[in-house]
Structure 1
Amino acid sequence: MGKRRLHSFRAGFIGAGLALSACSTEPDNQKLAEVEAQHVRDAADAGRIFCALNGEQHFQLNCTLDRIASADGQLLMLGRADAGYRRFRITSDGRGVVTADGADEARVSLMDNGLIEVAVAQDRYRLPATVRR
C-alpha cells in the first residue's frame, strides 16, 4: 500500500472513529430509566427505598420499607433516616397510596417503568408500583 493510500485510509478510519465516539456519548434515556427502576425494585425487595427528605433535591438510599397487613388492608411503613417514619395505605382505587395517619396528604406521581413518587410535606419517596391502565 502506498504512503498516500495508507494516509487516506488512516484519515478515514480516524474520522469514522470520531463519528462513532460522538454518537456513543449520548445517554439512552430509556435504558437509564429501566436501570433506575430495577435498582429501586431491588432495593425495595431488600427493605430499602430511595428518599429525599426535608426538601432535599437528590434522592438517597437511606430510608426503609416495611409491609404490614392490617384489618384495613396493606400498609407501608417508610422509615426515615432521622428515626421517624410515615405510614401509607395501599389503595385499590387507582390512587396508589394514601397517608394512613397524620394531617399531610400524599401526592402520588407516576414515573416511568412502574415506579411512583410519593410526596408528603417536604419528603419524597420512590416506590415500585403495579400500574394498571
Structure 2
Amino acid sequence: MVLFLAACSSSSEPPPVAAGDEHIACAVGGSAELAEVCSVERSEKDGKLTLVVHHPDGAFRRFDVKTDGTGLVVSDGAEEARMTLVDGKLDVTVGPDRYVFPVTTKAADAES
C-alpha cells in the first residue's frame, strides 16, 4: 500500500496528453498552468456543432457552439462557462477548469 501511494503522489512527471489529433491549451482540476494537453473532438448534428474536450485523465467536458458567433455554452448546463476573448483566442473557464480555444472570425462584408 505504501508503494502505491508513493507512486501516485509523484508530481515530477509532466501531465499526459489526451489522445486525439487536435489539442488545445488547458488547465484542469484547478491547475494554474496552461498546457496543450487537452484534445478536442468535433461533431455536428442538425447544423449544431458540439465540441468535446478530453482531459488527460480521461474526464471530458462538452460544449455547444453558439450559432450567433458569441462563443460556447456548456452542453449539460450544470455550470456556466465564463468567456473572454484574449489575443484572438477564446479563454473559457468552467468551474475549476480553463480552456483556450482558437477563434475563427468572419470578415465583415465589404460595402460598395
Aligned mates of 2:59, 2:46 — CA distance in 1:
23
Paired with 1:72 and 1:122, the residues of 2 have a C-alpha distance of 30
In 2, Cα distance between the equivalents of 1:86 and 1:96?
A: 15
1:122 maps to amino acid: P
Q: CA shift at 1:71, angstroms?
A: 2.5
Aligned sequence identity (%): 36
Aligned residue runs from structure 1 range 53-132, under 5 A? 53-71=28-46, 73-112=48-87, 114-131=88-105
Residue 131 of structure 1 and its aligned partner are, at CA, apart by 3.8
Q: Secondary structure at the match of 1:104?
A: coil
Deviation string, structure 1 residues 71-122 (Cα, Å, up to 9, x no partner): 360000000111011010111234311011140111111011x211111000
Q: Which has the larger radius of gyration?
A: 1
Q: Which sections of structure 1, spanning at least 5 residues, go unmatched?
A: 1-45
**Runs of 4+ with deviation above 6 angstroms:** none
SS of the aligned residue for 1:92 comes to coil
AA of the residue aligned to 2:104: T
Which blocks of at least 5 consecutive residues in structure 2 are unaligned? 1-20
How many aligned positions are there?
Answer: 87
Instruction: Note if contact 1:95-1:108 (Cα within 8 Å) is conserved in structure 2.
Output: no
The RMSD of aligned alpha carbons is: 1.7
